[in-house]
Amino acid sequence: MPRVRASEGTLTTAGAATDFSKQAEIEKIAQQVGNAPATLRLLEIVRSQPQPLRLYHASSSEIFGNACEVPQPENTPLHPTSPYGCAKAFATQLAQVYRQSYGLFVCNGILYNHESPRRGENFVTRKIARAAARIARNLETELVLGNIESQRDWGRAQDYVQAMWLMLQHHTADDYVVATGESHSVREFVEAAFAVVGLPWQKYVKHDSAFDRPTEPAQLVGCADKIRKILGWKPRGTFRELVREMVETELDAIDSDRSDE
């Protein structure tokens, strides 16, 4: 069931896609069993309130899956390629139906991958940043990954949370793609992470097909023109700055633990 946060007449559902491993896929499927029905229940709760609430629904770029266009705006046809994407597509359409049929103030934030040092360790970006730091500090010797040619549109989580907030402040509810509009591969993330610690990534990175996704989505790159124009939102920082922040946070954590010993 999605986590729910409530504050000053607003509700937010949260969810995100995890790493490309089979274990992560199993965990996602288990989570999604109740995801869409939980969203339906939440929408019904909002509809039953005597005073109108504003609801933010965390949609995902995974709803586009094998997208028929690049980049993807809000009206790109839905073609999910994973259980996660299917569940998110259904929940996204539920939110639209309740907005159109019952007049609820509900926004779909179609967020592309958003990262920060707080990412869980089962996410590929955190896995890479953590491994680079630990290898640099002689705590690990290798990093095992799936398909490093997979590409994603990665942005900073801080910027995307601001986008969520802006959606709920606007006078009308709508759906918005939130993305940087840039595509980077897992290989590029690895290269940037190991560059922070000054190590040759090829020496430490190994491939294991167990971490490959059964079906890889097409090139998912978001077109955020709508939210830029209507809400004045734009991403801050660069891809390499994001990677550096994540790796340096891992290094600081390791060094802090050692100083406390």
Residues with a known catalytic role: 60, 62, 84
The residues pairing with 60 across neighbouring beta strands, listed in sequence order, are 111
8 Å CB contact between 114 and 152? no
Give the H/E segment covering residue 126. Answer: helix 124-136
Q: In which region does residue 8 sit, left (phi positive, over 0), alpha (psi from -120 to 50) or beta (all else)?
A: left
Instruction: Give the Cα separation of 218 and 85 in Å (integer).
Output: 13
Instruction: Give the Cα separation of 125 and 148 in Å (integer).
Output: 11
Instruction: Give the Cα separation of 221 and 180 in Å (integer).
Output: 8
Cα angle value 40/221/246 (rounded, 5°): 90
The residues pairing with 207 across neighbouring beta strands, listed in sequence order, are 145
* Cα dist from 214 to 20, 146, 205, whole Å: 9, 11, 21
| Cβ count within 10 A of residue 255 | 12
8 Å CB contact between 199 and 141? no
